[in-house]
Structure 1
């Protein structure tokens, strides 16, 4: 009988990136926390006749997705402007070589960058992103493997969180796709989405945009969302986010945005507003939306400060400020230096999402 590591490896290798004979596969690991899962992925790729490069602490480190040892913190803290604007050529060579990417991220402390100079992080982000974007336009999949730190954030033991992780990841993706396809079809034909909830009344234009998500398990595991790139100048109204929102190791709480013609014209936060100030001063495009997403994974119910899980919570939506995906389906035209997903919980009485006036979600439940 296959182990859960073998079952998940099969999903990542065969379903997500479709490794075949002759594929050039890069398996990115933050460290050896996920060695058992990575080993099963590695073995399966080799058996399929693929060429495999095991990249431990490499690319994940360079984009701030590896925190053991404090190396990334020291790089950001000690580097000169010249160093922070020097393109990572080794990372570029790996991405140019690979055509399939299995990214296994292990973060041990979600706040590991909270006291690091945010200007330096922004400068480095602008430097590496054009290289990183090459990978996004190839076959890739991302999963966040449980650690003691992420388990603590989830208010679970490591054993409980690991069980939760595998149950959320090892699902029937064909059945999940059928459910998401219903929402995708509605958004494809829609022109205006309206979100109404406590201290929230927001409209987004989606005319001419195509939704994505029905082909589940291809980029994110666990998966379970339908998403679309809103029209860049058609978002109006206001929205409040109940949960703390995290990006690059920094947390902002009590976030409220006001939009006019697609742009955030006013914003407040009860905690760490200065981080929002940094993000919005870094690039004016960060004041516009790159994505509207709808969480549709019934196995994911709790907010745990892990975006790969949280954006899939059944009965929630999320808005990403900044860069759109460069996809025909799910993509948009906004640029920006970040893609920051923020979760809005709609599982409260009086919460409604409509598409062209027809109710799609009421009180966190889908009416389709």
Structure 2
């Protein structure tokens, strides 16, 4: 296989973000959300966008190390007071049908020693101010894509034994491999990958399982009820304007929404979770009628507690996702400390909001209708990983017949 140069791979990554990620249309505007440390790559995406006749490109920078300073010194009133212009700006992105590419590359240790309650309160205020913007994303009203590129802080966390420059290069290799941008024709590679999702999605949608049963040696023993007329999705999605896009790059998952009130049992994590720059590890939940009634964590207990108590619906599940253990990202045998990658190496769930597209006619339902249909409505959505090499998942249909979906961590069909 022909070896590509670093710049060829980098250009491939920027290309697929525009062409497949948000499927940028001529005359459309693009917003790029990026850490300041990823500004070079953000500018490369902007160039690709203008080459594709974008009407305009806006780059919105954020700096997690400045955010830490602000959390440490600003009071709660300042942190939770969102200027009106900021809310109007988010609404304007929706009004003007921006496509949105977000570069997610947190330093997993950036928010160490920061009061978790401050972070949660600030995020809650921002989510409230940006509710229309967030709903546009949840409902696929606008096309959006999340990608990642290495930063020194992130690379050091993944490869602590290596010098920083070498760690960054190794992380680039992993990013290129998992996003299929280390090949000559990444568009074809992604189209082939997308076709492979269809068989599994069609099987699951045809069977309309009433319940899923999870078991593993970690202690997971969970019964997950599914709402009527649920819809599984995987790979590309179709926005409300009829144009396809890939919300996540990489992606290996097929996902749906569980019935928020029909989840019972114990669920044990298998990967650490970085939430608001703080690490949560070796954690587990107990559910009763969909509610988290007990939880524990060996690391990050207070952060996990703050997440569960952060907002309405953050103590219930909104997403169930299947990812085979034998998958490209898992086979790298790396812990990325980055949800975008780790969730695509492992079956996972999410606390908080369900995607309305996961139920028939869900995108035309209001919050009351979604809740009545069994979907969780919340201002938060946080994925956490539960997949393992011995995870079994059994589907139970409306007649009580069972079907093995996962066996020993992988698809059983």
TM-score by length of 2: 0.78
After TM superposition, list the pairs within 5 Å mapping 1:325-344 onto structure 2.
Answer: 325-328=355-358, 333-344=375-386
- Cα distance 1:114–1:325, how it changes in 2: closer, same or farther (>3 A)? farther
SS of 1:293's equivalent in the other structure is: strand
Alpha-carbon distance in 1 for matches of 2:124, 2:68: 17
Q: 1:87–1:128: 8 Å Cα contact kept in structure 2?
A: no
Instruction: Name the counterpart of 1:202.
Output: 222
Q: Which has the higher contact order (CA 8 A, sep 6+)?
A: 2
Instruction: Name the counterpart of 1:106.
Output: 105
1:211 aligns with 2:253: no
Instruction: Name the counterpart of 2:197.
Output: 180
Instruction: Name the counterpart of 1:308.
Output: 340
1:345 aligns with 2:387: yes
Gaps of 5+ in 1: none
1:246 aligns with 2:245: no
TM-score by length of 1: 0.87
Instruction: Name the counterpart of 1:13.
Output: 18
Q: 2:31–2:60: 8 Å Cα contact kept in structure 1?
A: no
Q: 2:236–2:247: 8 Å Cα contact kept in structure 1?
A: no
SS of 1:27's equivalent in the other structure is: strand
1:45 aligns with 2:71: no
- Cα distance 1:98–1:116, how it changes in 2: closer, same or farther (>3 A)? farther
Alpha-carbon distance in 1 for matches of 2:78, 2:119: 13
Alpha-carbon distance in 1 for matches of 2:194, 2:359: 15
Please state how far the C-alpha of 1:268 moved relative to its aligned partner.
1.7
Please state how far the C-alpha of 1:252 moved relative to its aligned partner.
1.9
After TM superposition, list the pairs within 5 Å mapping 1:142-161 onto structure 2.
Answer: 142-155=146-159, 157-161=167-171
- Cα distance 1:105–1:361, how it changes in 2: closer, same or farther (>3 A)? same
**Shift >6 Å, 4+ stretches:** none
1:133 aligns with 2:95: no
Gaps of 5+ in 2: 181-185, 238-244, 363-369, 397-401
Instruction: Name the counterpart of 2:288.
Output: 260
- Cα distance 1:150–1:83, how it changes in 2: closer, same or farther (>3 A)? closer
1:72 aligns with 2:67: yes
1:50-105 CA-partner distances (Å, limit 9, x unpaired): 12233241xxx3xxxx32xx321233331442551324623642524451112223
Select the residue among 58, 81, 91 that pairs with 2:77.
81
Give the number of equivalent residue pairs: 353
Select the residue among 359, 364, 367 that pairs with 2:409.
364
Of the structure 1 ranges 322-331 and 139-148, higher mean CA displacement relative to structure 2 is found in 322-331
Please state how far the C-alpha of 1:339 moved relative to its aligned partner.
1.5
Alpha-carbon distance in 1 for matches of 2:311, 2:227: 26
- Cα distance 1:39–1:284, how it changes in 2: closer, same or farther (>3 A)? closer
Alpha-carbon distance in 1 for matches of 2:329, 2:114: 32
Alpha-carbon distance in 2 for matches of 1:32, 1:287: 33
- Cα distance 1:265–1:365, how it changes in 2: closer, same or farther (>3 A)? same
Alpha-carbon distance in 2 for matches of 1:31, 1:49: 25
1:299 aligns with 2:348: no
SS of 1:28's equivalent in the other structure is: strand
Q: 1:31–1:106: 8 Å Cα contact kept in structure 2?
A: no
Please state how far the C-alpha of 1:329 moved relative to its aligned partner.
5.6
1:227 aligns with 2:223: no
Q: 2:124–2:310: 8 Å Cα contact kept in structure 1?
A: no
1:212-231 CA-partner distances (Å, limit 9, x unpaired): 11427611111121111100
- Cα distance 1:264–1:242, how it changes in 2: closer, same or farther (>3 A)? same
